Amino acid sequence: MKSASPIVGRFAPTPSGRMHLGNIYAALVAWLSVRSRGGRMVLRIEDLDPRTQSGPWTALMLDDLSWLGLDWDEGPYYQRDRIELYRTATENLCRQGLTYPCFCTRAELHAASAPHASDGTPIYAGTCRHLSEAEVAARAAKRPAALRLAVPPAEDPAGTIAFTDRVFGPQREVLARDCGDFLVRRSDGVYAYQLAVVVDDAAMGITEVARGHDLLSSSARQIYLQRLLGYPEPSYAHVPLLVAPDGRRLSKRDRDLDMEGLRERFGTAENLLGWLAGTSGLAPDSAPRTASELAECFSWDLVRAHRNDIVVHEEAAGAPIA
């Protein structure tokens, strides 16, 4: 169903664990941005990886979002049901002559001395980019190939992606230098996150993407794919990560900060959201507030004002956070 509203945002969680304070903050900001301007929200479950037992986590995620009052108008869509769309988009890239099979093992990739892209992915050294047809056939007989997208050389302007992030301002990435040829499909046949997210954002009419700062470095690859596939470009906002007072990024290891612990300790969504809003600067204090109340005073300026990571140092419901 297509939205009549010009603003469409999304939640796009990967169901690999219980929602955590950092995920809640990113989801809250995405929801506030859309709801404060009368937009629509789509829920998409990013369950592409068949190695993950996603069912139980998905059920908990839907329940946690509902408990928080972060509702959605469309979905949940499941990426596992949408493989045909990813296949069609990949065929399009192949027809444009932009992809090539890659037979490198994980060990070979990490042994290559290329520097690492900002998200920790090794920059591909291009080993399989120029294999002859005979070499491809010989290797394909031994092991399944992944599929890579060849990015333009550094001096080609088409491979320089510039965009303005709503929180972190102007960004510029030279694909050849900063990420290299990247995967669109893994060797086990699973489509890559970068491809799936771009296909889905376009198919679902998403006009604004708001997500954690850790995904800022993926945006250039996604924008590049949008251009190749002729899709519209949504706006991007990357929200600050939550850190402990010692600077450590909060993670799923902090059990007391996942929704199970938080629901127990705060008791109500108003208590939890009010405290989170006070801590992150979305509200002037930590008084209990519903998500809808927070939407009334939401502005991106509040997020920008705290973009140098949000330190979670207060005691949550009596228990120390770190």
Contact residues for ligand GLU (CB under 6 A)?
12-14, 46, 197, 211, 215
Q: Kindly give, in sequence order, each residue whose CB lies less than 8 Å from that of residue 123, ignoring residues fewer than 6 positions away.
A: 114, 115, 116, 117, 178, 179, 180
Residue closer to ligand GLU by CB (options 57, 100) is 57
DSSP class of 188: T
**Least distance in Å: CB of 302 to ligand GLU?**
21
Residue closer to ligand GLU by CB (options 105, 251) is 251
The three-point CA angle 54-59-28 to 5° equals: 100
**Least distance in Å: CB of 145 to ligand GLU?**
25
Cβ atoms within 10 Å, residue 233: 16
Q: Kindly give, in sequence order, each residue whose CB lies less than 8 Å from that of residue 72, ignoring residues fewer than 6 positions away.
A: 11, 41, 42, 43, 65
**Least distance in Å: CB of 78 to ligand GLU?**
12
Residue closer to ligand GLU by CB (options 241, 317) is 241
Residue closer to ligand GLU by CB (options 178, 200) is 200
* Helix orientation angle between 259-266 and 54-68, rounded to the nearest 10 degrees: 30
Calpha distance 158→141 (Å, rounded): 35
**Least distance in Å: CB of 130 to ligand GLU?**
32
**Least distance in Å: CB of 33 to ligand GLU?**
13
Place of tokens 């939890």: 272
Phi-psi category of residue 205: left, alpha or beta, with phi > 0 → left and psi -120 to 50 → alpha: left
Calpha distance 284→72 (Å, rounded): 27
**Least distance in Å: CB of 12 to ligand GLU?**
4
Residue closer to ligand GLU by CB (options 44, 289) is 44
Cβ atoms within 10 Å, residue 286: 15
Residue closer to ligand GLU by CB (options 131, 198) is 198
Residue closer to ligand GLU by CB (options 128, 223) is 223
Q: Are 31 and 62 in contact (CB under 8 A)?
A: no
**Least distance in Å: CB of 2 to ligand GLU?**
21
Helices (DSSP H) in 132-184: which residue ranges? Answer: 133-140, 175-178
**Least distance in Å: CB of 18 to ligand GLU?**
13
Residue closer to ligand GLU by CB (options 128, 196) is 196
DSSP class of 150: P
